Amino acid sequence: MRNLKRTLSLALAGVMLMGMMVIGAGAASKDFTDAGDIKNVEAVDVMVALGVLEGGDKGDFQPNSILTREQAAKIICYLLLGEEAAEKLATSGAVFSDVAADRWSAPYIGYCVNLGILAGDGSGHFFPEGKLTGAAFAKMLLVALGYDPKIENYTGSAWTINVAADAIEAGISPKGLVLTNELSRQDAAQMAYQTLTATMVKYDNKGIDIDFGTGSGSVSVGASTAEPVKATKAGGYLTVEKDNDEYVQFCEKYFSDLTLNAKGEDAFGRPANVWTYEKDEVGTYAKAADASYTDAVKSGTLYTDLGLSKTTPATVVADGGSDTTTFSIEKSNSTKTGGKGVLTEAYVDADKNVTLVQINTYVGQVSKVATADDVKKDEKPYIEIDGLSNVVYGGKFETAVEYAEDDIVLYTYDKSEKKVMSVALAEKVEDLELTSTTGSTKFVAGGTTYEYNATAAVYGGRLKDSINVYLDTNGYVVYVEKYEAGSTNYAFVLDTKQNNDGWNGSKNTYEAKLLLTDGSVVVVDTDKKKATENTFVSYTVDDNDVYTLTAKDKTSTAGSKIEVSKGTSKFTADAAYYANSSTIFLVHDNVNDEYVVYTGIANMPTMNGAATVYVNTKNGAPNSVASIVYISAADTVVSDANKGLVYIIAGSESDLINDADKGEYYTYNAVVDGETTTINVAKDAKLSADVLASKLTYNSKDLVTNITAYSTEGDDKAISGTGTLKTTDGTVGLQGAYYTYAENVVVYKIEDNEFNKVSVTSIREDADDTFNAVIKDGEVVAIFITVVEA
């Protein structure tokens, strides 16, 4: 008989998982058709098991519908009397003018009014369908616990303040719930659930009531303070005997067959509550973790978040498997555990032992649906799942939620029992074009960068594929499927050919070399007549793969110079042609003989120089917006905008990215002109070590193709070495020598391949750290210090 009070209101009410919800075994909530909307799973399951709450006629629970006054009266009766006795309540007549004697709720309202738990408006009205606030329901629950509404001042203008204070003290007010707001069914379930473990109270003396008359109300005076009710026998609802206290909790008085093992463990190895009623298990529910993550987490981060004071070996349990591993949690250690989309929950016991429970989210496809009409009377509806992840699991899962065959779903899996534990529909993002891939970690489609869930299989298709993407609850990709998308059916004619056959050309055939709007170049057979080179066409294809080409609007030449810069829609130097967000640019790199496509002027790289330009407009005249543009130009454009200072961290190199527009490249963390940024470096310019540079050379695809290292000679030079000395009196020590530094000197410390801008005065003596610095006219103007762990 333990007085949990605030402990339960904070701990049990806060039980939730980041990402996909993993519900308890034997739970009732998953049998509702709207199970996915239930957040207070443990509370709903316990209340349903006790018969206090039930679902609707359609098999749903309606967790977010607002509780009414008459529904609250029924809940209180079922809490105080139990399901069987509450159902036998009857009424002999109408208590209120708006509550008929034969109304379904009349017996419950009458019972609560007689106990002083509920009251009307003083004019004979009860308003049974009126919506209830959290404070009003808390008042009812407090009275059920034994609190006297007159003694505790639950009436009058300050009643909500008094009720709220006592509700928090008693442990029945869920954390984060605003009691003055209207109350949902599932929040009512949570409050009733927390009432189960709250302590009953009584008064040695209730004093006397003084009635002020004339409708002014009454007040109780001389009453004693509410005191907890002491138990008359040992034991209680907690299965671990020593954890019970000397007082009576609500569930011990009204539900003596309800027990709680508060030191249980769920299928995944997490500390859990295990509820049992009348010897039947209600469910197992994981407790709130001390820290939770859905991405890979560093050892040092765990050390800080868990408040550890020494290196601690943590036991790692993955998907409930019996084979555990050990992960060392150390201060300032960057070793990681977990992964993207992997729920890692850390638990610290009283002896500072740490357990890391890791739960993967897998993706599968529904292969079978068995509804209530398909199964035997004593069986539950279920689905069968075929796994689609790298590690393929699957199986049967009982659920009343409606799924269709071939649905793509997320699920969790208990490796020990080889059992699907929870299921949810995966979020689908449709009709995307794959434009870039970065190794096996991420890709770009539809202008958005997507990262893979740790269990996902990497998509093996090609750039420009039309795909649908399925996401887990944290936004990571679990599955990618290809579909056939329609073509824009536009092209630029690069070349044509006539094949003579037969006498007098009676059987001539024609070919055309086309640049399609997806950037591909094809040689096709055309019908009847020779196409015109350097024109834009639309096309159709017959069953014999013969193309019919039709001139599209007007094709015009637009001079011999291209000028594309950010912030302006004009893109030609010799004639005034403009572009917008829908303009398609077909760009020919005539040095490497490569083609790249850009949609929208904002996505075009900066280009300035000689070029052959063709534009397609409605009338062919200047001062109009082009729908399609063909540009043939030299590949390289050199930018001197970064001539001041560039530093690139080689260790920050990404996986190789294969982009449909840009080609193959790596990304690196860099400082350019004193600003931290990320740069794209062509595959052939891959870095082997950090570099301090004075200039970057870009091509027309905004890729760095050459890096000019900073000179080590002259009045503007770079120096490098090992070891720093403390900054003092306007000088900084680098490899045993002191240098004066400029007033606006910039200093970056590099740790874990990331930049951290610091003050020059923060530099301290460290014999292991390495540095690169720039000296201009005898003063240090920039310093990059790489922190080396001793």
Distance of CA 246 to the CA centre of its chain: 45
Give the HSE-up count for residue 656: Cα atoms under 13 Å, Cβ half-sphere. Answer: 8
Among the listed ranges 24-38, 100-114, 547-561, which one has the minimum average pLDDT value?
A: 24-38
**Could you tell me the pLDDT band of residue 488, with boundaries at 50, 70 and 90?**
low
Q: Which of 194, 188, 255, 198 is nearest to 226 (CA)?
A: 198
Range in 242-251, 363-372, 604-613, 637-646 the model is least confident about: 637-646
d(CA 433, CA 446): 5
pLDDT of 83 > 80? The answer is yes
Instruction: Report d(CA 198, CA 229) in Å as an integer.
Output: 11
pLDDT tens column, 293-334: 999 999 999 999 999 999 999 999 999 988 899 999 999 999
Residue type, 417: E
What does the pLDDT look like over 567-586, one tens digit per residue?
566 777 777 777 776 788 88
User: CA 435, 569, 704, 649 torsion: positive or negative?
Assistant: negative
Average pLDDT, the chain: 86
- CA–CA gap between residue 508 and residue 514 (Å, rounded): 20
pLDDT, one tens digit per residue, over 626-674 is: 888 888 876 434 333 334 589 999 999 999 999 888 889 999 999 987 7
Helix (H, G, I), strand (E, B) or coil at 84: helix
Q: How confident is the model at residue 729 (pLDDT cuts 50, 70, 90)?
A: confident
Compute the radius of gyration of the chain from its Cα atoms.
Answer: 36
C-alpha 210/C-alpha 218 separation (Å) is 5
Q: Is 140 helix (H, G, I), strand (E, B) or coil?
A: helix
Q: In this structure, what token pair is assigned to residue 76? A: 């209180």
Question: Which ranges of 147-280 would DSSP assign to H, the alpha helix?
Answer: 159-170, 185-196, 250-254
Instruction: Please write down the long-range contacts of 568-574, taking CB distance under 8 Å and 24 or more positions apart.
Output: 569/601, 569/625, 571/601, 571/604, 571/629, 572/613, 572/615
- On the question of pLDDT at 776 being above 70, the answer is yes
DSSP for residue 40: -
pLDDT beyond 50 at 6: no
Query: Element (H or E) spanning 36, and its range?
Result: none
Residue 20: what pLDDT? Answer: 39
Record the pTM: 0.63
What's the mean pLDDT in 32-41?
88
695 touches 634 (CB < 8 A): no
Quick one: pLDDT at residue 10? 29
Q: Find, among 59, 1, 475, the residue nearest to 248 by Cα.
A: 1
Q: How many CB atoms lie within 10 A of CB 256?
A: 11
Position 222 pLDDT exceeds 90 = no
What is the Cα–Cα distance from 734 to 725, expressed in whole angstroms?
Answer: 6
- Residue with the bigger pLDDT between 267 and 388: it is 267
Which CA distances in Å does 672 have to 638, 644, 679? Answer: 15, 8, 9
| pLDDT confidence band for 623 (50 / 70 / 90) | low
Maximum separation of any 2 CA atoms in the chain, in Å: 124
Which DSSP category does 13 fall into?
Answer: T
Looking up tokens 């442990």, which residue turns up?
Answer: 171
DSSP 284-307: EEEPPPSEEESS-EEHHHHHHHTT
pLDDT > 60? residue 4? no
Rounded alpha-carbon distances, angstroms, from residue 522 to 409, 513, 533:
39, 6, 14
